[in-house]
Amino acid sequence: MSELSTPDIRTVNAEQVLAHLPMRAAVDALKQALAQGFDPSRAHPRTSAELNRGEFLMMPSENGDYAGVKILTVAPENPQRGLPKIQGQYLLFDSETMAPLALIDGVALTAIRTPAVSALGVDILAAPDATDLLVFGTGPQAEYHVRAVAAVREISRVGIVGRSGNKTDRLVAALNSEGFNARAASEDDVASADIITCCTSASEPLFDGDSVQDGAVVVAMGSHSPDARETDDALARRAAFYVEDVDTAMREAGDAVIAVKRHLIRENDLRDLSTMVTEDRRTTARPALFKTVGMGWEDLVTAKALFENLPG
């Protein structure tokens, strides 16, 4: 092989990602990586580069036999053009030779990875008999979060809270066609929900945290900005507060940053994902809040699980 040539790599499109990376397998891969000692606090941070019409988001990581980087573009004007706001690819490498192994559709990988992280938190924190799921949001992440939570709990009822009645109705119909017992819901349903997932672009709280019942689990994943949040002061004050990694959360997780700045909690009250996996942290005495922002190691772990599950 010429020194100027690149080894052939596998190209994995969105359909292949969804076909060969089951949600439960992604959850289990994340849990296994942490149980085997991977430390998210040592993970490479997300970086960004401003562009004329948007930005690059770059998320590198290395663990064991693999290394990888996800590069996403964020183009705020794209929805007006009928194009996706976020696009990108994941490049997987052999960590010993640094040879590229696969080019994976980055949006599809994220569509699995993000709810898989949430589902891992739910699996650890939610009561075994938690069955009532409430979802804020009507986009792809809302849809995939229903499937992810259903991979770790027997869900009997799904409520969808959306700003657009048409989008809410479409998502409810799609979920019902898959066999879920879904319905349009409202903030009032917070009080009866066992599991609440926040999958929105909101920068202000979505509901009254005092309405969340003790023992319920709230997952907030909609932003990675230190000045945006989906949950309020009341929930921060009441909840056992979990994050993927404390330093990362204090850079990017508005729900945590604002709560600490307002002295609702202390930074050392935040409990990280590694601790969640290795220790029994579930409590029924108060709600649990799991705030995620997405980290590069999660993409790598799920890309590895996908790559090793590809046929041929």
Which domains does the chain show, CATH number per domain? 10-109+298-309 (3.30.1780.10), 111-294 (3.40.50.720)
17 vs 101, 176, 241, CA distance in Å?
A: 15, 24, 32
* Residue pair 104/112 in contact by the 8 Å Cβ criterion: no
* Residue pair 309/20 in contact by the 8 Å Cβ criterion: yes
One-letter amino acid at 121 equals G
Q: Averaged over 246-271, what is the pLDDT? A: 96
The pLDDT value given to residue 89: 97
- Pick the closest to residue 183 from 209, 195, 165 (CA basis): 165
Ranking 2-11, 53-62, 108-117, 173-182 by mean pLDDT, the lowest is 2-11
Question: What's the burial of 77, exposed, middle or buried (CB within 10 Å: 0-12/13-18/19+)?
Answer: exposed
Q: Residues 17-42: pLDDT tens digits?
A: 999 999 999 999 999 999 999 999 88
Reply yes or no on whether the pLDDT at 2 is more than 60.
no
The pLDDT value given to residue 5: 66
One-letter amino acid at 144 equals Y
The pLDDT value given to residue 154: 97
The rounded mean pLDDT for the chain is 94
Confidence of residue 281 (pLDDT cuts 50, 70, 90): low
The pLDDT value given to residue 108: 96
How many CB atoms sit inside 10 A of residue 201's CB? 12
Q: Averaged over 78-103, what is the pLDDT? A: 94
Q: Residues 197-243: pLDDT tens digits?
A: 999 989 999 999 999 999 999 999 988 889 999 999 999 999 999 99
Q: Residues 135-148: pLDDT tens digits?
A: 999 999 999 999 99
The pLDDT value given to residue 7: 72
* Residue pair 279/308 in contact by the 8 Å Cβ criterion: no
Tokens of 131: 């069955």
Cβ neighbours of residue 287 under 8 Å, at least 6 residues apart?
209, 212, 213, 214, 215, 216, 217, 218, 235, 238, 239, 240
H/E segment holding residue 258: helix 254-261
Confidence of residue 1 (pLDDT cuts 50, 70, 90): low
